[in-house]
Amino acid sequence: MGHSLITISIQLPDASSFLSSETHSLIKAVIFLLALMTGLLVYILISLLFKNRRERLRKRLSRITDLLIQRMLFNEDQEFAGNLTSGAGRFLKLKTFRNLLIEELVRAKKNFSGVAANNLQLLYQECDLSNDSYQKLVSRRWYLKAMGIQELAEMGQNKSFDLIFELTNHSNEQVRMEAQNAVVKFSGLTGLNFLDFLTYPLSDWQQIQLINQLGDVDQNASDYIRKWIGSSNNSVVIFSLKLAARYHHFELHDRVALCLTHPSEEVRYHAIKTLKEIFDENTSANLVKLYDAEGLRNQLVILEVLQNIGTEKELPFLEREFTRDQNEIRLAAGRAIARVADMQYLESRSVSTEYPWTEIIQQIKGELRK
Amino acid sequence: MSWQTFIVDFFTYGILLYSVALLSSYVFIALYSVGITRDHLRKNTFTDYRILASSDQLPGLSILAPAYNEGNTIIENVRSLLSIHYNNVELVVINDGSKDDCLQKLIEGYNLYKTDHFVNEQLSTKKVRGVYRSHNPVYNKLIVVDKENGGKADALNVGINIASKDYIVCIDVDCILEQDALLKMALPFMEHPGKRVIASGGVVRIVNDCVVKNGKILKINLPESFIPRMQTLEYIRAFLLGRMAWSRMNGLLLISGAFGAFDKEIVIKCGGYNHKTVGEDMELVVRMRRYMEERKEPYKVTYIPDPLCWTEAPNSFQILGRQRNRWTRGTIETLWFHRKMFFNPKYGFLGLVSYPYWFFFEFLAPIIEFVGFIALFFFAIFGLIDWVVFLSLFAFILSFGLLYSMFAIFIEVITYNQYNRTRDIFKLILTAIAEPFIFHPFVVWSAIKGNIDLVQKKNSWGEMTRQGFAKPKTS
Amino acid sequence: MKILIAEDDLLMLKTLEYRLKKDGHEVIVSRDGMEALEKIEEASPDLIITDIMMPYSSGLEIAGAVRQKSSTPIIILSGMGQENVVLEAFKLGVDDYITKPFSPNELIVRVRRFMFANAVR
């Protein structure tokens, strides 16, 4: 903002009685602003003071929480937990301390697995911290609600599953996301059942989080995925396509291939990408059939997929595309030819001595050498 | 009524009306930005960037870093850029026909060899002399392009032609990025299903007097000397209040050239950076928005208030003046190229609010201020001024400006709190008090000179390449 | 054995320090990549345990820098589990790669393995 405030100060002249009668109120306004400013200044200083003070208090308290967590992490006989927490009893009455401890536990839990992780959970229970988390869960403020969900999930409080599951289609995005992450954390693939009735879109970022949460493959996942591929929520369809690709569910090939005619371009894009992971002998031919009706982005991804799964049957098609008018297409088709046949074959094309094909071929050669 | 009173009345009421509108917009922006900043910070606590960092689904980013005569620092700068956490990234350094040993240093420092790279000239540019890559696998993300000199916009366009990823991140090669800057920059592109995020801007902060080692910031300090400190205040105001409010309205027109990410496909479809303006960063965003509006596709320009990018601010009135002069010309040129959108309902919010705001309050403000000052001078000579009214009005404006600055400082304290010593806060407030008397008049004068230069056609083209790259712009 | 840990999460760092000291090791801690590199230079540890995502220098950079000079064993302890990152790490010459979340007990066992190798040498 080019701060052109004084600008205005020019305005000055009086002549008209308008301003002079306003002078008085103008001075009042200045006094008002000055008062506001003083108030703000005081407020800034107080905020700063409190902020720095809270920071210091947290630092002091965190020494205790750290110690507690460290001891607990390597605590082989678990009876010790009681002794440990009784020492901290005094502090546990402090809300700041409890919140800090929960925060640190949640953070630590993300780093550890095995006995250590169980011990952290034990500490959470011994200190009766779940009450705090439940209170947050029922709060009307979205960030507290989301925080409560995160804590209960990270600390494995399975009893909260039903309460949290209800929030998976919540109107606040963050609450919804945390609830979805939580139910998947609790019960893996079956937690994803919220996809059945999800009306909000899943963002790409949320899909990443869910996949991260999901971890390893479930044997009978393909039945679930098959159901979700038919969802009317496009983002759910895309997400299930990603799952099919990730876990290589070859048995879903035909269902995925149906998505090649899906009305959404985005869904088709992901269907093409998925087929790369679960292709069969008809896939390439299907993609080629689809090709001409698609836009540039999907055409490029088809050519990219053909690099990996194309066969000699597609060579005539690839050669046609190699001589098309767009350089991106030429490059992608050239790469596919070099992979499906070989470099020599690509170099023996009739256009290979012309611009820009010579350069394109040189680049592909360089890439393959690497 | 006599002609004198007419003129006086005209000025009085005209400027009064203008001022009321301007002040209201300031009040609105200040209040409107608070909620969104708070929400952003809260949301941020839930984002586990490690999940993002360890995902294989990250959108691909090509960092484009144009370099012109940066031989002294290029090795360090590139090293610092290469060390940023991001899995799916390539760094394209574009040597814009440097006259020094910039390219040679890169070749030696990173063990580069010339590759046979086919440059798909989707945007027409000056000639590319060569594309280099490193023998060392540790630097496999690095691509160095050598081209004939053509200015920053042209260099960036070459970078776009070379870039292989879906998104481009344009930066000044000498700025310092936080380690997680790219992760934070990439996130908005994945957060808005149903809307195409065409660009995302980041905050630029001032690095003067911070402790920097090996291209990393060790300690954040408030600049000691007046000019950079003044700009620190300016940047806080602009980035924390102004841009935040505009992005909340999805009306952001400017993403600073020092750090911004763009959807490559849209950039190419609209023709890339325009090398006919000195304000290529603003012009691109406006053109991309215009493109999306014309196609009626839902889109979004996002903005992240976290301090991610640090840059050296001009430390002399001379350089500062040149920078502001250039910004002014960039703004005018951009507004001129896209004048079709002025109050054009076809362009929705962009045409009815964003564009007019820039026209009236960015472009016209310094001019009105300047004209007002001259008028004041004449009125004073003719004895037409009621000094009581004048002084009280003047005091009103000054205190309003100061209040606005203090509000920005307040928001900084309760959010990022980077200058967390009481002493620093007082220094910032003193700076705010001094601003209208020293800094502001100079900025206005530089803007006026920018207008004059543009009118005299003594503008950009030739001069641009020599001047090197525009510094980030505050709005 | 002299072990250097580079990790930006303070709790994690202290925890590892505590546990390794209990095992009788001398432990040097560093909270960022730059500090780690400096301390490696001056203290020449027998084993390096490092995170990847840290301020200033990443664990991979540290691995690269160390390998240019010595064969000190390096264990990467990171949340990044993508194939290409792991491969890059091993290409740089790290000796072991543990992904978070991890079991501290497992880490201890792995450290002991290097200790024996160290004793043999």
Q: Which two tokens stand for residue B266?
A: 């849209």
Q: Which two tokens stand for residue B370?
A: 């300047």
> What are phi and psi for residue C76, nearest 5 degrees?
-90, 135
Residues A103 and A150 sit within 8 Å (Cβ to Cβ): no
Report the distance separating Cα B196 and Cα B302, nearest Å. 10
CATH of C2-120, one of 3.40.50.2300, 3.40.50.720, 3.40.50.170, 1.10.20.60: 3.40.50.2300
Interface chains of chain C (3 or more CB pairs under 8 Å): A, B
Please tell me whether residue A262 adopts helix, strand or coil conformation: coil
Residues B207 and B220 sit within 8 Å (Cβ to Cβ): no
C100 has a chain A CB within 8 A of its CB = yes
Closest-CA residue of C relative to B178 is C55
Report the distance separating Cα B311 and Cα A265, nearest Å. 41
- Of B6-10, B263-267, C51-55, minimum mean pLDDT range: B6-10
- Of A131-145, A260-274, B224-238, B451-465, minimum mean pLDDT range: B451-465
- Give percent of chain B with pLDDT exceeding 70: 96
Residue-level pLDDT at A82: 59
Tell whether the torsion through CA atoms of C81, C83, C87 and C90 is positive or negative. Answer: positive
Residue-level pLDDT at B144: 97
Interchain contact, C57 vs B50, CB within 8 Å: no
Residue-level pLDDT at B9: 77
| Cis preceding linkage at B441, omega within 30 | no
Q: Which of residues 400-419 of B touch A (CB under 8 A)?
A: 400-404, 406-407, 409-410, 413-414, 417
Average per-residue pLDDT for chain B: 89
Beta bridge partners of C27: C3
| Cis preceding linkage at B356, omega within 30 | no
B58-68 mean pLDDT: 95
Contact list, C57 vs chain B (CB under 8 Å): 83, 214
A173 has a chain C CB within 8 A of its CB = no
β strands within C1-121, DSSP E = 2-6, 26-30, 47-50, 74-78, 96-99
What pLDDT band is residue A81 in, cutting at 50, 70 and 90? low
Average per-residue pLDDT for chain A: 87
pLDDT above 70 (res A323): yes
Q: Which two tokens stand for residue B385?
A: 């001024």
B219 has a chain C CB within 8 A of its CB = no
From the list A122, A240, A4, the residue with the least C-alpha distance to B328 is A4
Residue-level pLDDT at A77: 56
Residues B227 and B316 sit within 8 Å (Cβ to Cβ): yes
Beta bridge partners of B92: B64, B143
Contact list, A70 vs chain C (CB under 8 Å): 11, 14-15, 18-19
Interface chains of chain B (3 or more CB pairs under 8 Å): A, C
Residue-level pLDDT at A83: 63
Shortest distance between the Cα of C110 and any Cα of chain A, in A, equals 15
Which domains, ranges and CATH numbers included, belong to chain B? Answer: 1-46+192-475 (no CATH), 58-182 (3.90.550.10)
B213 has a chain C CB within 8 A of its CB = yes
Tell whether the torsion through CA atoms of B318, B322, B328 and B332 is positive or negative. Answer: positive
For the beta carbon of residue A252, count every other beta carbon within 10 angstroms. 23
B363-390 mean pLDDT: 86
Residue-level pLDDT at A20: 55
From the list B49, B315, B133, the residue with the least C-alpha distance to B208 is B315
B79-96 mean pLDDT: 91
**Better-scored residue on pLDDT, B473 or A171:** A171
In this predicted model, what pLDDT tens digit does every residue of A223-239 receive, in sequence order? Answer: 889 999 999 999 999 99
- Give percent of chain A with pLDDT exceeding 90: 57
Which residue out of B184, B399, B429, B438 would a mutagenesis test of the A interface target, given it has the greatest number of A Cβ atoms within 10 Å? Answer: B399
Q: Which two tokens stand for residue B90?
A: 């390539």
- Of the candidates C9, C14, C102, which has its C-beta nearest A70's C-beta? C14
Report the distance separating Cα B292 and Cα B287, nearest Å. 9
Which residue out of B90, B180, B216 would a mutagenesis test of the C interface target, given it has the greatest number of C Cβ atoms within 10 Å? Answer: B216
| Cis preceding linkage at C55, omega within 30 | no
Residue-level pLDDT at A12: 44
* Rg, chain A, Cα only: 31
**Burial group, residue A331, by CB count within 10 angstroms (0-12, 13-18, 19+):** buried
**Better-scored residue on pLDDT, B93 or B16:** B93
Contact list, A327 vs chain B (CB under 8 Å): 118, 120-122
From the list B181, B199, B179, the residue with the least C-alpha distance to B189 is B199
pLDDT above 70 (res B461): no
Q: Which two tokens stand for residue C25?
A: 């090791």
C32-54 mean pLDDT: 91
- Of the candidates A10, A14, A203, which has its C-beta nearest B191's C-beta? A203
Enumerate residues 6+ apart whose C-beta is below 8 A from A64.
A88, A91, A97
A51 has a chain C CB within 8 A of its CB = no
Interchain contact, C11 vs A69, CB within 8 Å: yes
Report the distance separating Cα A150 and Cα A136, nearest Å. 10
Q: Which two tokens stand for residue B128?
A: 């590319």
pLDDT above 80 (res B8): no
Q: Which two tokens stand for residue C112?
A: 């002991």
Report the distance separating Cα B3 and Cα A155, nearest Å. 80
Ranked by mean pLDDT, the top range of A216-220, A243-247, B136-140, C10-14 is: A243-247
Report the distance separating Cα A278 and Cα A249, nearest Å. 7
Q: In chain A, count H helices and then E strands.
A: 20, 0
A111-137 mean pLDDT: 90
Report the distance separating Cα B394 and Cα B387, nearest Å. 10
**Burial group, residue C71, by CB count within 10 angstroms (0-12, 13-18, 19+):** exposed
What does the DSSP 8-state code read for residue A169? G
B301-327 mean pLDDT: 93
* Strand ranges of the sheet holding C2-6, from the earlier edge strand across to the other edge: C26-30, C2-6, C47-50, C74-78, C96-99
A103-121 mean pLDDT: 90
From the list B270, B246, B176, the residue with the least C-alpha distance to B33 is B246
Q: What angle do CA A246, A248, A253 make, to 5 degrees?
A: 115
Interchain contact, C53 vs B85, CB within 8 Å: yes
Contact list, A111 vs chain C (CB under 8 Å): 9, 12, 79, 100-102
Shortest distance between the Cα of C52 and any Cα of chain B, in A, equals 9
Q: What angle do CA B149, B82, B196 make, to 5 degrees?
A: 80
pLDDT above 80 (res A18): no
Q: Where are the alpha helices (DSSP H) in A247-342?
A: 253-258, 265-277, 283-291, 296-309, 315-322, 327-340
A211 has a chain C CB within 8 A of its CB = no
In this predicted model, what pLDDT tens digit does every residue of A56-72 receive, in sequence order? Answer: 999 999 888 888 888 88
Closest-CA residue of A relative to B2 is A15
Contact list, B180 vs chain C (CB under 8 Å): 53
Report the distance separating Cα A68 and Cα B176, nearest Å. 38
Chain B and chain C share a number of CB contacts under 8 A equal to 42
In this predicted model, what pLDDT tens digit does every residue of A158-198 receive, in sequence order? Answer: 999 999 999 999 999 999 999 999 999 998 889 999 999 99
Residues A362 and B118 sit within 8 Å (Cβ to Cβ): yes
Domains of chain C: which residue ranges? 2-120
Report the distance separating Cα A358 and Cα B11, nearest Å. 68
Report the distance separating Cα B194 and Cα B297, nearest Å. 10
What pLDDT band is residue B470 in, cutting at 50, 70 and 90? very low
ipTM score of the complex?
A: 0.89
Three-class secondary structure assignment of B103-152: HHHHHHHCCEEEECCCCCCCCCCCCEEEEEEECCHHHCCEEEEEECCCHH
**Burial group, residue C48, by CB count within 10 angstroms (0-12, 13-18, 19+):** buried
Report the distance separating Cα B124 and Cα B131, nearest Å. 17
Shortest distance between the Cα of C53 and any Cα of chain B, in A, equals 7
- Of the candidates A66, A70, A113, which has its C-beta nearest C101's C-beta? A113
For the beta carbon of residue C119, count every other beta carbon within 10 angstroms. 8
Residue-level pLDDT at A22: 64
Please tell me whether residue B204 adopts helix, strand or coil conformation: strand
| CA-to-CA separations, B236 to B233, B242, B244, in angstroms, rounded | 5, 9, 11
Number of C-alpha atoms within 13 angstroms, CB side, residue A244?
A: 33
**Better-scored residue on pLDDT, A113 or B446:** B446
Beta bridge partners of B260: B170, B201
Residue-level pLDDT at A206: 97
Query: Quick one: which H or E segment has residue A55?
Result: helix A17-73
B79 has a chain C CB within 8 A of its CB = no
Residue-level pLDDT at A219: 67
Residues A251 and A222 sit within 8 Å (Cβ to Cβ): yes
Report the distance separating Cα A51 and Cα A60, nearest Å. 14
Report the distance separating Cα A113 and Cα C60, nearest Å. 24
> What are phi and psi for residue A85, nearest 5 degrees?
-70, -30
For the beta carbon of residue A288, count every other beta carbon within 10 angstroms. 18
What pLDDT band is residue A78 in, cutting at 50, 70 and 90? low
Contact list, A205 vs chain B (CB under 8 Å): 52, 187, 190-191
What does the DSSP 8-state code read for residue B61? E
B366-394 mean pLDDT: 85
**Better-scored residue on pLDDT, B140 or B321:** B321
Interchain contact, A116 vs C106, CB within 8 Å: no
Closest-CA residue of A relative to B328 is A2
- Of A204-218, A253-267, B218-232, B350-364, minimum mean pLDDT range: A204-218
The dihedral over CA atoms of C36, B215, B263, B146, expressed in degrees to the nearest 10, equals -120
In this predicted model, what pLDDT tens digit does every residue of B128-141 receive, in sequence order? Answer: 999 999 998 778 89
A86-99 mean pLDDT: 82
Distance of alpha carbon A137 from the chain centroid: 22
- Of A211-215, B270-274, B466-470, C22-26, minimum mean pLDDT range: B466-470
Residues C21 and C77 sit within 8 Å (Cβ to Cβ): no
pLDDT above 50 (res B266): yes
Q: What angle do CA A184, A117, C61 make, to 5 degrees?
A: 90
Report the distance separating Cα A208 and Cα A219, nearest Å. 21
Contact list, A109 vs chain C (CB under 8 Å): 101
β strands within B353-407, DSSP E = none
**Better-scored residue on pLDDT, B38 or A10:** B38
Q: Which of residues 95-134 of A touch C (CB under 8 A)?
A: 104, 107-117
Q: End-to-end CA distance of chain C, in Å?
A: 13
